[in-house]
Structure 1
Amino acid sequence: MQPTLEQLRSRYGTRYKWLVLLTVMIGTMASVLSSTIVNVAVPDLSRHFGLGQERAQWVSAGFMLAMTLSMLTTPWLLLRYGLRKTYAGAIFLLLVGGVLGGFSINYPMLLSMRVAEGMAAGIMQPIPSIVILRSFDAREQGKAMGIFGFGVVLAPAIGPSVGGVLVEHFGWRSIFFAVVPFCFLVLLMVRRLLAVNSTITANARPLDWKGLMLAGAGTTCLLNGLVNLHHGLLAASGLLLASAACIVGFVFYQRSVQHGLMNMSLFRYRQFAMGAVVAFIYGAGLYGSTYLVPVYMQMALRYAPSEAGLLLLPAGIVLAVTIIVAGKLSDQFPPNVLVSVGLCLLALSFALMAAGSRATGYFTLMAWAIIGRLGLGFVMPSLSIGSMRGVEVGLIAQGASSINFMRQLGGAIGVSVVGILLEWRLAAHQGAPGGGQVEAFNETFMFVAALCASAVVSAWRMRPSEAPAR
């Protein structure tokens, strides 16, 4: 017989909330690992399946799209099935996607398994923020978010390095199996540490299928419309118009229903509205660049996969340390200041990358990557806490899910736009000396730098208002 929440709290005392945080942290690490580790293998996947950049980027964009949409279902799943069943189900789906992805016999099978992994990752993403905001008091939230962030950033720090070695020595299939030990460990921890009655709140309502379908159709049409800009303006325009119609329809529908996927009353809080804008732009820049850097190292600078992955390892370690410090600082300084500083450092890192060439030293590139990860360390804990402070308790679950949704939506669009822009610039520089690859990547990096810099305006306004706007 599985223990109840009361029995577990009695057994572990004040340690229990930290053990629950550790459980959700390791699972989130596995999902982040599955998201980023594949980027090192994109050149190998392109050669194996005969893909151009426009189709190859769907390996990341498909994951991001599925992650974005499934994230909207997390509050409903928690209400309907509780923390234990929801989290265990997501981990099992991630495990299946990793195993079957490694045995893929064609590109459609590979892409479908990436979508499955993305669905699992999306369900898991808002859960740690919800756990922290509900289980820890205001004085401990920054510390808890910092510790959680430290664990989560180790995955993308180690992931590209491990992925590069695996691809180089065992081929692209091996990277899909990297999540398997994490998944088995978390399933064991769920069995021992999460109570059978660990619900977030009671009174589950029906899932908003209409809202989910509108959001899914809107984002899918948007990404396909962007991809089709190269092939035909008429088809692309039709898809983009359909996307706009679906997104507008989603917003108005969510305002008209009482219990939709996204509570639009959240946007009456200035700090939340500004945080959502920052999350979207930040997600586009972050995930777009995470896709871009390993491809840049291999295609333009001719580094081996292991060298491309190793470049980000010191930066990831710096990020892991910075995020703990930034988590403590977010309890002492206004979050909008820390987020603005972080975005400036992130934009500077990409601008420096845009100035690179084949003569740029490996350690110089590593230093530029470290500057960007320092920026990330300031943004990550402060954005979640700053956008949710002052929001009423009953809206916390949907608020955390919505902020993560905006970041992942920006990420899905960012990966797609970066892949399309890169393909366009590669074609434009095709006749240049050396193939023009470095120039094409530099122009794409400059676009990402400008994108991150534009978010500073919204970040600076991410201060709590006295009351929600009417």
Structure 2
Amino acid sequence: MAETLDDLCARFGPRYPQWMLVVLMLGTIAMVLSTTTIFVALPAIMDEFAMGRPMVQWLSTGFLASMTSGLLLAAWAQSRLSARRTTQYALWLFIFTTLLAPLATQGWELIALRIVQGFCAGIIQPLATVLIFRVFSSGGRGKALGVYALGVTVAPSLGPSLGGYLVDHFGWLAVFWLPLPLCAVVLLSARLLPSDRQPGVSKLDLWGFVLLNLALFALLLALAEAQRVGWGSSRAYAAGLLGVLAATWFVRRSRTHAQPLLNFTLWRHAAFRSASWVAAVIGMGLYGMIYLIPLFLQTIEGYSAGQAGMLLLPAGLALGAASYLSGWLCDRWQVAWIMAAGLAVCALSSLVFGLLPSTASFFAFCLWASIGRGGLGLLLPALTSGSLSGLPADELASGAGAITFIRQLGGAFGVNLLTYFLEWRSASAGDVLAFQHTFWLSAAIFLLAIVAAWGMRVQSQTS
């Protein structure tokens, strides 16, 4: 028999919302750990499979790209299968691909497994935001979002820390095993999730899904090929043209389809438009900087994978504390102020990171990395609250999926574009200056995003 949220509240008592929040957070931590632990394992995987940087980056960008497309299926899957079954199916597929990883003998096989895992992660994450908004509708939503954001924000910093230790002591395969215990806990606790389905669900826009994935992977391939051989390559040009055409076709189809994967009518809300810009920048900061910092520490400063990961451990604690604080503040302050402050802190951290000399101490790198992650921690609960609070109830599910889609899109292309800029500057200025300029570019992007965040304040006053 299908169980609704009301049924579960009556069955498990007044503490049910807190128990459900814990399950949702653990599921998110498992998926985000899988996203970020791979960064410190890339050199070992390159040696194992004789892969160059243009190919090995697909282990992260391919995961993020498929995760981005999977996000848009979350609302449909929840309505069609229920939140409980959607989570169970996605986790079982994730575990199955993890068990296949030791059998990979070619680099492309490992990349294919990562792409499937990214799709599973994309299906799971938006469901949590919708359920939090529903079960905490009577109050405490900001605090609940702050607690949930621990999974979204702490895991990207804890991932490299744990992953670096595991790679140094057990090899690169250990980063694939890391999320499995959490996946098992969530599967065993899935009965805490509602199993009711929405009647009369329309068919999936399969053609739109194909176009979306074609656009994402073609554009990422174009950037990867341009990084490897330059834009003069016919492969880079053809992939870029194919990606633009597919993206254009996807947008046109989504605007006219009765049940599109991405509901473009959401952008009729001015606050949602501004939040989308901030979301893209947060994605770049969340994944782009967690990619750049370990790479900088290992290639320029000579740190081991474990040392580079350990440096980010205090940053994870700062992220978690700032996320909880942001959730508390969201119930009291305007979210635009919180987002502007978070972006300013991120910009300051990136700027100073680019200015630190090569003789800087471990403590100095750790301090400014922690400050930057603290700024990101302020942003996520505020972004979720600000982007969804102005939407009607029937658009919450699509809005949660869309804003997470934009954030992950920023992460996928942020990693790729920052890598492209880094390689471009490295060819003419050397590695040290290239990293410095890339950190400064990140700071400039964070500062520009403050304009969008401030615009949300103006819109809330005039609405």
Same fold (TM over 0.5): yes
Q: Give the superposition deviation at 1:48.
A: 2.2
Q: Which one is further off, 384-393 or 153-162?
A: 153-162
The DSSP-based 3-state class of the residue aligned with 2:33 is helix
Which consecutive residues of structure 1, in runs of 5 or more, have no partner in the other structure? 430-435
CA contact (8 A) 1:65 1:409 kept: yes
CA distance in 2, matches of 1:468, 1:82: 38
Q: Deviations over 1:187-213 (max 9, x none)?
A: 1011x4234x333x3321100112212
Q: Give the superposition deviation at 1:29.
A: 0.5
Number of corresponding residues: 460
Q: Give the superposition deviation at 1:416.
A: 1.2
Instruction: Identify the residue that residue 455 of structure 2 maps to in structure 1.
Output: 461
Q: Which one is further off, 88-97 or 326-335?
A: 88-97
CA contact (8 A) 1:345 1:372 kept: yes
Distance verdict in 2 for CA 1:150–1:466, change over 3 Å: closer
Instruction: Identify the residue that residue 232 of structure 2 maps to in structure 1.
Output: 233
> What is the aligned counterpart of 2:431 among 437, 462, 465?
437
Q: Give the superposition deviation at 1:72.
A: 0.7
CA contact (8 A) 1:58 1:416 kept: no
Q: CA RMSD in A?
A: 2.1
CA contact (8 A) 1:254 1:263 kept: yes
Instruction: Identify the residue that residue 23 of structure 1 maps to in structure 2.
Output: 23
Q: Is 2:99 the partner of 1:99?
A: yes
CA distance in 2, matches of 1:303, 1:254: 47
CA distance in 1, matches of 2:461, 2:322: 32
> What is the aligned counterpart of 1:202 among 199, 202, 210?
199
Distance verdict in 2 for CA 1:324–1:285, change over 3 Å: closer
Instruction: Identify the residue that residue 64 of structure 2 maps to in structure 1.
Output: 64
Which residue identity lines up with residue 453 of structure 1 in the other structure? Answer: L
Instruction: Identify the residue that residue 366 of structure 1 maps to in structure 2.
Output: 366
Instruction: Identify the residue that residue 306 of structure 1 maps to in structure 2.
Output: 306
Distance verdict in 2 for CA 1:234–1:309, change over 3 Å: closer
Instruction: Identify the residue that residue 452 of structure 1 maps to in structure 2.
Output: 446
Q: Which one is further off, 228-237 or 459-468?
A: 459-468
Distance verdict in 2 for CA 1:68–1:411, change over 3 Å: same
The DSSP-based 3-state class of the residue aligned with 2:173 is helix
Distance verdict in 2 for CA 1:51–1:427, change over 3 Å: farther
Distance verdict in 2 for CA 1:155–1:255, change over 3 Å: same
Q: Give the superposition deviation at 1:99.
A: 2.4
Which residue identity lines up with residue 437 of structure 2 in the other structure? Answer: E
Identity %: 37
> What is the aligned counterpart of 1:221 among 218, 221, 245?
218
CA contact (8 A) 2:51 2:107 kept: no
TM-score by length of 1: 0.93
Which residue identity lines up with residue 209 of structure 2 in the other structure? Answer: L
Correspondences of 1:43-122 after superposition (within 5 Å): 43-122=43-122
CA distance in 2, matches of 1:395, 1:248: 24
Q: Give the superposition deviation at 1:10.
A: 2.2
CA distance in 2, matches of 1:267, 1:102: 44
Q: Give the superposition deviation at 1:338.
A: 0.6
Q: Give the superposition deviation at 1:245.
A: 2.2
CA contact (8 A) 1:42 1:295 kept: no
Which consecutive residues of structure 2, in runs of 5 or more, have no partner in the other structure? none
CA contact (8 A) 1:57 1:419 kept: no
Q: Give the superposition deviation at 1:352.
A: 1.2
CA distance in 1, matches of 2:461, 2:212: 29
Distance verdict in 2 for CA 1:13–1:295, change over 3 Å: same
Correspondences of 1:144-223 after superposition (within 5 Å): 144-190=144-190, 192-195=191-194, 197-199=195-197, 201-223=198-220
CA distance in 2, matches of 1:115, 1:468: 43
Correspondences of 1:332-371 after superposition (within 5 Å): 332-371=332-371
Q: Which one is further off, 251-260 or 46-55?
A: 46-55
Q: Give the superposition deviation at 1:7.
A: 4.9
The DSSP-based 3-state class of the residue aligned with 1:324 is helix
